[in-house]
Structure 1
Amino acid sequence: MPPHPSGRPSDRPAGLTATDLVHAYASGDLSPVEALRDVADVICAREPELNAFWQLDLEGAATAARASEGRWRRGEPAGPIDGVPVTIKENLGRAGVPMPAGNAGVEPVVPTRSSPVVERVEESGGVILGSTVMPDWGMLSSGVSSLHGITRSPWNPALTTGGSSSGAGAAAAGGYGPLHVGTDIGGSIRLPGTWLGLTTLKPSAGRVPLDTPYLGRAAGPMTRSARDAALLLSVISRPDARDWTSLPPSDLGAVLPAEPLDVRGLRVGLHLDAGCGLPLDPEVRSAVEVAAQVFTDAGAEVTPLDPFMTPQMLRDLDEFWRVRSLTDFDALAPEARERVLPFIRRWVLAVRDVDGRSVLRDYASIMALQQATVAATESYDLVLSPVAPVAAFPAEWPMPWGDRDEGMAHIGFTVPYNMSGQPAASVNCGFTADGRTIGLQVSGRRFDDVGVLRAVDWYEQHRGTAATPVWPIPPTGDDRA
């Protein structure tokens, strides 16, 4: 595997940020039609190998881009992302598009109305390219799916994208436009973030309305910069009455403030021991420590944060999720069950004998995790940690340890913030010796999504070239996968 890329990033339209595209549209230097044409070239060249899309609709995107071009010419953009290419994870409904949840055994639901996220993107003029893939029921941290096959990293096709927002992650890193929406119940936005070098955000619980809210579940931006993540969040966080758990309307602003964040005096926790799960790889630990030193050198008060999650909490959460998926599995016809990914079949059948009292104990344990997370982090403005304890693994593996059953041993750093509802972002902070990306998790107090994104934006400006990705997007005229 080659070392991490160096040299000039691609400046073709497909490699531009959303904020750059919008400025180019406003000045007349570029049109949405031209931007889409370039993104389509990248998709057509790379998609056979990367396998990011469940449903790709370049024809529909072209129609949307032409409409956007007309609005920009009239000086009447529909919203802050008018004309910007966007992808949507397949479990966020788009009217008329089947939703199989990455599972070959499922009879897909075909929604008659789009999800809140999709409606907000369309209202703002975003050019939706299509729906991106996920693994079976979203319960794998990889791009392995019984329905879609294997989704691969644009950095190195031999490596995983992470999951479950696998297609969104591949699209973001690979140059399929700048804005992508994933979902996350235990790390499914941030894990592709760490293994693909992205800037992502799992927002505060209720910040982004969903039509099927669930304990810990969130939808959020997967991008190549904090400013793009903030831009997309400002659109998809607009309220929708269908989500009975959503937060009151809040004007997050279309972009982060122009003035730089002053990190002097910020109380920052450094969390390097999850208290459970896989051991922390020394290269990952070192990269996170270097990132923390960047904050320290700028005047932040960085202090160690002791582990607050326990192995029992992680085991109970894993069992709770297995039982949930077992009910979905049992609802399938016997022949359909055989089409579910073998790893997932074994994972759900392992809890066949778990009784209702055990599930209630699991739920109580999850509430204890929620309480422990808030109590451990409330005195800090930010908490820095690894996203995952290990770097990217082979694309064919369903989990970081291959085909064995190790439960959810890789989410000890990410899942606490799903349960507590606190915002948590990922941002690249370094590379392993063999070139694999390493993500820093930046979490904050609940509701402080903008504070977290401001800190990530500040870090992007101060992390240095050794930690900054040069995206694997081919230059114009070299659309080879």
Structure 2
Amino acid sequence: MSAEELIGMNLAGLTGAYASRELSPVEVLQAVINHSMAVNGSINALFSFRPEQAIASARQSEARWKAKAALGPLDGVPMTVKDSVAMVGWPYFHGIGANRSQPPSNYDSPPAIALREAGAVIFAKTTMPDCGLMASGISSLHGITRNPWGLAWNTGGSSAGAGASIAAGAGFVSVGTDIAGSVRLPAAHCGLASLKPTHGRVPHLPADTMRMAGPMGRSVDDIARLLTVLTRQDERDTWSLPADDVRYHERLGRDVKGLKIGVLTDMGFGAKPEAAVRNAVEATGELLAGAGAIVEPFISPLDYDAIAPIDLFLQVRGYLEYNSLPPHTDSERDINPYVREWCLGGARHSGADLYRALGQIGKMKAAMLAAFEGWDYVIAPTLAVVNFPAEEPGVSREKPLEHTLFTAMFNQTCQPASTICMAFDRRHLPIGVQIIGHRFDDLGVLQLTKSLEGLRSLTMDWPFHPRA
């Protein structure tokens, strides 16, 4: 088997080969590390490589597979986690140059514990923009992370390195985090499958009202395997749900016939989708209708700028993080200038402003959840644009999160939302479609996403050799 065939395997095939002794976790890891180091110079998606530590973990996994005592569906799988997922002894920089001298983390976030207990082999961390407050791949610490489908184009963010590395074959899956679209946006830009789970389904720290961790991979089956491992209860996260014990990867089959599915292409405010994006969403609806689903337009209940109060809340949040940084120079080496200027705007807002914004968010949330009554699922763009240049902080320089309007709403409503690539534009850049379900219906969202993966006619010619 060639190195390219090996790194292109799905997790079912990979762990099946471990079980049959056709492949060893050690040889697979070595191939993945060699490939990752070869491609990382062009995409700049990974940092803190730990080959010796990873090889030790792979050897332990190899012994378990030989003894027929594998720990689960991720045992021996080479993978990565995002900069913002705390792991004991690993760096936790949050993408910020001013944090470069900070000591390693002294605690494990719940996803890190789950992965370690499942025997996953973590060999590196993935890059992210400053504070996680840009839907872009630019970081004062890490530099520019580039999209392997086209190095001139953006990865999206904030799980930028996760998106780029998986698409380029540098690891099989990764854990990202999502506060306004940060798992779904880079997945869409990079052609991946991903899921922002129901809030609390995957515990994470620090506990948060709108941010959660989620799986990213090249197939729905792969992210379902990762979700199976990540779901658990952790009382340190006050939003954590009781463990559901669902083996998601074993329950992906579903007939879509009779499902009532809405097609959302206009959020009621903000940017309208580009023609290529709108066409991809509408074509996806047609595929579902052809499979027997009841597909009709979903009309957004929003007729005002609902991203504005979310932006204000995150701006204040960013201002507090900026003020807590170690002594720094405010140079581009220490803090991204776009993030800095945007965060400093948080100083203008009073407590009353913030409380008012929270009330507006609550109003939006109630309206959106009410609009979902009577629908099983809604499909929508992940982004209104296909892509934008790698050097840009977003579609807007003044408001780096403005173009997240199709994703950020569902962080607030706490609904599960996935992304799957359903088209390419004329430049052969991926276009993701978002699938949103009711709270707690993570399995159903994955099932519908799996159905779309089977219905799509495109070929995922993964850029294991990043393209100019």
Shorter chain as denominator, the TM-score bin is over 0.9
Tell me what 2:305 maps to. Answer: 312
What letter corresponds to residue 194 of structure 1 in structure 2?
Answer: A
**Structure 2 length-normalised TM:** 0.95
**Could you say which residue in structure 1 is the equivalent of 2:139?**
145
Contact 1:208–1:238 under 8 Å retained in 2:
yes
- Given candidates 362, 369, 383, the residue that maps to 1:388 is 383
CA contact (8 A) 1:100 1:109 kept: no
How far is the alpha carbon of 1:400 from its aligned partner?
Answer: 2.2
> Post-superposition shift, 1:330?
2.4
1:212 to 192, 195, 206: 206
SS in 2 for 1:426: strand
Q: How many angstroms apart in 2 are the aligned matches of 1:112 and 1:344?
A: 27
TM-score, structure 1 as length reference:
0.93
Counterpart amino acid of residue 108 in structure 2: S
* Equivalent position to 1:464, from 430, 443, 457: 457
CA distance in 1, matches of 2:208, 2:324: 19
Question: Structure 2 vs 1, CA of residues 407 and 129 (structure 1 numbering), >3 Å: closer, same or farther?
Answer: closer
Deviation at 1:253, TM superposition (A): 0.8
CA change 1:12–1:480 in 2 (3 A) is farther
Task: Please state how far the C-alpha of 1:335 moved relative to its aligned partner.
Answer: 3.5
Who is 1:5 aligned against? none
Distance 1:27 1:127 in 2: 19
Aligned residue number for residue 374 of structure 1: 369
Uncovered stretches (5+) of structure 1, i.e. residues with no partner: 1-8
In the alignment, structure 1 residue 113 sits paired with structure 2 residue 107 = yes
User: Structure 2 residue aligned with 1:178, among 148, 151, 172?
Assistant: 172
Q: How many Å separate the matches in 2 of 1:196 and 1:81?
A: 23
Structure 1 position 200 matched with structure 2 position 194:
yes
Q: Percent identity?
A: 39
Match for 2:461: what amino acid?
V
Helix, strand or coil for the counterpart of 1:393?
A: coil
Match of 2:96 in 1: 103
CA distance in 1, matches of 2:375, 2:250: 21
Contact conserved, 1:206 with 1:246, CA < 8 A, in 2?
Answer: yes
2:28 aligned residue: 35
Say which SS state the counterpart of residue 328 (structure 2) adopts.
helix
Question: Take 2:15 and 2:326, find their aligned partners in 1: how far apart are those partners?
Answer: 48
| Superposition pairs of residues 224-303 of structure 1, within 5 angstroms | 224-253=218-247, 255-257=249-251, 260-303=253-296
- How many residues are treated as equivalent by the alignment? 464
Checking the alignment, whether the CA contact within 8 Å between 1:80 and 1:254 is kept in structure 2 is no
Q: Which residue of 1 aligns with 2:341?
A: 346
Q: Residue type of the partner of 2:376? A: D
Question: Which residue is equivalent to 1:356?
Answer: 351
Q: Is the 8 A contact 2:232 2:242 kept in 1?
A: no
Counterparts of 1:310 and 1:68, CA distance in 2: 54
Select 1:22's aligned residue among 15, 25, 37.
Answer: 15
CA distance in 2, matches of 1:214, 1:70: 38
**In the aligned structure 2, how far is the partner of 1:318 from the partner of 1:254?**
34
> Is 2:415 the counterpart of 1:417?
no
Q: Is the 8 A contact 1:277 1:411 kept in 2?
A: no
**Take 2:371 and 2:4, find their aligned partners in 1: how far apart are those partners?**
43
Q: Is the 8 A contact 2:131 2:321 kept in 1?
A: no
Q: 1:302 to 1:132 in 2, by over 3 A?
A: same
Distance in 2 (CA, whole Å) between partners of 1:333 and 1:195 is 33
Task: Give the superposed CA RMSD.
Answer: 1.8
1:446 aligned to which of 417, 439, 449:
439
Letter in 2 for 1:460: E
Aligned equivalent of 1:166: 160
The 3-state SS of whatever aligns with 2:402 is coil
SS for the counterpart of 1:335 is coil
- The structure-2 alpha-carbon separation of the partners of 1:415 and 1:119, relative to structure 1 and needing over 3 Å to count, comes to same
The reply on whether 1:49 has 2:23 as its aligned counterpart is no
Counterpart-to-counterpart distance in 2, 1:343 and 1:288 = 31
Match of 1:6 in 2: none
Q: Secondary structure of 1:326's match?
A: helix
Letter of the 1:209 counterpart:
P
The yes-or-no answer on 1:84 pairing with 2:84 is no
Give the letter for the 1:175 counterpart.
G
